Amino acid sequence: MRIRLALPLTLLFALLAAPVHAEIALKTAWLGEHEAFVAWYAKKMGWDREAGLSLTMLQFGSGDKIMSSQKEHDWAIAACGAVPVVMSPLKDNVYIIGLANTETEANAIYAREGDPIMQAKGVNPRFPDVFGSAESVRGKTILCPVNTSAHYLLDRWLTILGLTEKDITLSNVLPGPAVDMMGKDFGDAAALWWPANARAERVGLREAASSGACGVEHPIVLIVKRDFARQHPDQVTMFLRLYLRTVAEMQRMGHDALLDQYRIFALQWYKQDMSREDILEDLRLHPLYNLDQQMALFEDAEKGLPAWIRQIADFYSRTGALSDKEREELGSLQFLNPHYLKAVWMTRPQ
């Protein structure tokens, strides 16, 4: 009897003593915006651990700050706008490895309802839904975070109106504080992104120009440090597979099924108790792209991600922010790396 009991106990002790496979800690960086919801949801569902990872999510106020914090915070993978990546002096340290989402309709210029800016519409016939004119905007103070998607939109808006940044006073302010400052009568217009847009409309500001109306695309990209990618290519692929698994599940579920979880996420990351309508609008404004869609966008040189990146580079070259040499280097798209996306594609379930 003792022998029969001893054998199972021996096996139990052996199992307890056996090494347990530990998840790989992966430090990631995000803005307090929609794309972080994908990683947050994956982490809450425990899918990161199923993938062999343990995600740490660092939060930043802008893509510019993510790019400039590479050494200070030592993140491995991040999500931010393509504009701060392209405009960063540290862009050669990273690869673009995927699309987090796009926010073309989530960026907009706002002004006060009674401002002369809102009295002129379609002055440039190629852009009939754009408000403002050279006369109503020249000399105005515009609140806008520099080297961001909002800054890209602002430059495009000014170009449509026949102006440049030299014709305005540009104040470097993030969207949240910009809404507060506009409410206190500082500034004449503000370049915002969601969810500051919703707050702006609640305090009486009106949309003067959206990215869609101005004909610009705003991809939010997934980036990885090049050194990390060279040392840990498997971890990069593991992360992409996790992100795309979550995207596919969210597309299958639909927006209504995500309402409760997004509300919790917004409380934690936006510090806002968002209404049902605002959540649905946030989800609508930030379309996600599954594996098939991402592969297509990476490969479409005329209308996909390569074209979007070149348009950003060309635009900033025209404004003088990039030299011709820098524009040529960016146009070669050396930092656009589909290798890891292709690795996910090759190992996808059949």
Q: 94-109, pLDDT tens digit by residue?
A: 999 999 999 888 899 9
Structure tokens at 242: 């996790």
What mean pLDDT comes out for the span 259-281?
A: 93
Exposure of 119 by Cβ count < 10 A (0-12 exposed, 13-18 middle, 19+ buried)?
A: exposed
Instruction: Please name the helix (run of DSSP H) or strand (run of DSSP E) that holds residue 326, with its range, or none.
Output: helix 324-331
Averaged confidence pLDDT in the chain: 90
CATH topology match: 24-102+218-346 vs 105-214:
yes
Cβ atoms of residues 32 and 62 within 8 Å:
no
336 vs 89 pLDDT, higher one: 336
Write the CB contacts of 320 (distance below 8 Å, at least 6 apart in sequence). none
What mean pLDDT comes out for the span 290-318?
A: 90
261 vs 33 pLDDT, higher one: 261
CA 145/CA 173 separation, integer angstroms: 5
For 103, the 3-state DSSP assignment is coil
Does 138 have pLDDT greater than 90?
yes
What mean pLDDT comes out for the span 185-197?
A: 93
Within the chain, strands assigned E span: 24-31, 53-60, 77-81, 94-102, 107-112, 141-143, 169-171, 189-193, 205-210, 219-225
Residue pLDDT, tens place only, 45-68: 999 999 999 999 999 988 889 999
Query: At 292, is the pLDDT very low, low, confident or very high (cuts 50, 70, 90)?
Result: very high
Cβ atoms of residues 302 and 309 within 8 Å:
no
Looking at domain 105-214, its CATH class is: alpha beta
Kindly tell me the sign of the dihedral angle through the C-alpha atoms of 329, 333, 337, 339.
negative
Among the residue ranges 1-15, 217-231, 294-308, 328-342, the one predicted with the least confidence is 1-15
CA 313, distance to chain mean position in Å, is 18
The length of the chain, given as a count of residues: 350
Query: At 21, is the pLDDT very low, low, confident or very high (cuts 50, 70, 90)?
Result: low
Residue pLDDT, tens place only, 71-90: 889 999 999 999 889 888 88
What mean pLDDT comes out for the span 2-24?
A: 47
Query: At 211, is the pLDDT very low, low, confident or very high (cuts 50, 70, 90)?
Result: very high
Instruction: Please name the helix (run of DSSP H) or strand (run of DSSP E) that holds residue 4, with its range, or none.
Output: helix 2-17
CB atoms within 10 A of CB 59: 13
What mean pLDDT comes out for the span 189-199?
A: 92
Does 12 have pLDDT greater than 70?
no
What mean pLDDT comes out for the span 207-213?
A: 96
Structure tokens at 81: 């706008």
Most confident of 92-106, 137-151, 228-242: 228-242
Structure tokens at 285: 């404004």
CATH 3.40.50.300 fits 24-102+218-346, yes or no: no
Phi, psi of 27 (to 5 degrees): -90, 125
CA 98/CA 79 separation, integer angstroms: 9
Structure tokens at 340: 């890891």
Query: At 271, is the pLDDT very low, low, confident or very high (cuts 50, 70, 90)?
Result: confident
Percent of the chain with pLDDT over 90: 71
Could you state, in order of their start, the residue ranges of all structural domains in the chain? 24-102+218-346, 105-214
Cβ atoms of residues 336 and 306 within 8 Å:
yes
CA 259/CA 276 separation, integer angstroms: 7
Query: At 19, is the pLDDT very low, low, confident or very high (cuts 50, 70, 90)?
Result: very low
Does 13 have pLDDT greater than 60?
no
Does 10 have pLDDT greater than 70?
no
Cβ atoms of residues 335 and 108 within 8 Å:
no
Whether the model clears a pTM of 0.95, i.e. scores above it, the answer is no
Of 211, 210, 137, 129, the residue nearest 168 (C-alpha) = 137
Write the CB contacts of 311 (distance below 8 Å, at least 6 apart in sequence). 216, 217
